Structure formats: structure tokens, C-alpha cells
Structure 1
């Protein structure tokens, strides 16, 4: 699962497999926490993150939604997603 972005200790990854389940989503990791976020709604689907990190991830997802959807299309075609701009 390639890492597509890292910021403030948060790692964002996306699976590259045509069989990956919908809805379009990415995985966020922070220490021992992990969460799955819906790209279209920018909402938490599964898992958890500390409140501050979750807010950062959801804000980042809204800002980078177009890039994330483009990466999802690549991943569904078994292509490597590109790096996405982090929060600064």
C-alpha cells in the first residue's frame, strides 16, 4: 500500500488493486491509530484517530479531494498513485 502523503506525523496510504472495495477511500495512520476516510464525503468510515489528527486529515481530504479521486482511479487500474501535497 503506497504512501501518498505525510504531514504532522500522519501517514496517508491507498491500496492499488482493482478489487478494492467502494466507496473511494484512503487509509490514515498516526502512531497506533488507523482510520479509513471516504474521499467523496470526507468522512470517517472506520477506525479512529485522536480528535486533532482526525480534524487535520478531514480538512486535508477536502482540500485535496480532486487529487485523491484521481489517485483512486489510478489505483483501481493497478497503477501507482501519485504523491499528494501535504498540509503546511
Structure 2
């Protein structure tokens, strides 16, 4: 699963698999915490992330929603997603 961005100890990844399940989403890892985020709505689908990291991830997703959608289309076609600028 390629890493597409990293910031403040948060790792953003997207499965590189054409048969990945809908809705379009990405995966978040922060220490022992994980989350899945819906790209279309920028809402958390599933998470045990601390509140601060959830807010950072949602802010990042809102800023990069178009790039995330483009990456989702790439992975659905079996192509590697591109890196996205981290939150600064």
C-alpha cells in the first residue's frame, strides 16, 4: 500500500488494488491508531485516531480532495498513486 503523504507523524496511504471496495477512501496511520476517510465527503468512516489528528487529517483531505479523487481513479485502474503535498 503506497504512502501518498506524511505530516506530523501521520501517514496517509491508498491501496494499490483495482478491486478495492467503495466508497473512494484512503487509510490513515498514526502510531498505533488507524482511520479510514471517505474522499467524497472528507468524513471519517472508521477511526480510533486522537481528536487532534482527526482534525489534521480532515483539514488535509479538504485541501487535497481533487488530488485524492485523481489518485483513487489511478488505483482503480491498477496504477500507482502520486504523492500529495503534506499539511504544513
State the TM-score, normalizing by the size of structure 2.
0.98
Deviation at 1:26, TM superposition (A): 0.1
Note the residue ranges of structure 1 that are not aligned, 5 or more in a row: none
CA distance in 2, matches of 1:9, 1:73: 26
Deviation at 1:16, TM superposition (A): 1.0
Unaligned runs of 5+ in 2: none
Alpha-carbon shift at residue 46 of structure 1 (Å)? 1.1
After superposition, what is the alpha-carbon deviation per residue over 1:9-57, rounded to whole angstroms, capped at 9, x for unaligned? 0000000111100000000000000000000000000122100000000
- Runs of 4 or more, structure 1, over 3 Å off, are none
Correspondence for 1:70: 70
RMSD of aligned alpha carbons: 0.5
Give the alignment's TM-score, normalised by structure 1: 0.98
Deviation track 1:33-85 (CA, whole Å, cap 9, x = no partner) reads 00000000000001221000000000000000000000000000110000001
> How many residue pairs align between the two structures?
88
